Amino acid sequence: MSIEPKSILGGESVYCINEAQLKESQRLVNEDPVSAPKLQEILESVESCCSRNERAALAFTLIERLRQSTEK
């Protein structure tokens, strides 16, 4: 019997991302001559092999690891 994975795509907010951070991240992914090609390649790879829920898990894990690395 298969158990349906729990969705992590919504719910109460734990962290805030301000609009300036989001805008800069989009610039890095779409326009930066050094970062954009690398980040677009990673995104294409993740999007082609991971479900939406898996991509959300990866995004939240990356945010948490970034948060933890700045606290040390």
- The pLDDT profile of the chain, 72 residues, written as one tens digit per residue, is 566 666 655 556 666 778 888 899 999 999 999 999 999 999 999 999 999 999 999 998 998 898 888 655
Q: Is residue 13 part of a domain?
A: no
- Boundaries of domain holding 40: 19-71
Q: Is residue 36 part of a domain?
A: yes
pLDDT of residue 67: 82
pLDDT of residue 48: 98
Q: Which residues contact 31 (CB under 8 A, 6 or more apart)?
A: none
The neighbour count for residue 52, using CB atoms within 10 Å, is 11
pLDDT of residue 50: 97
Q: Is residue 4 part of a domain?
A: no
Of 46, 12, 10, 13, the C-alpha closest to 29 is 46
- Taking the model in full, what pTM does it have? 0.71
Provide the domain count of the chain: 1
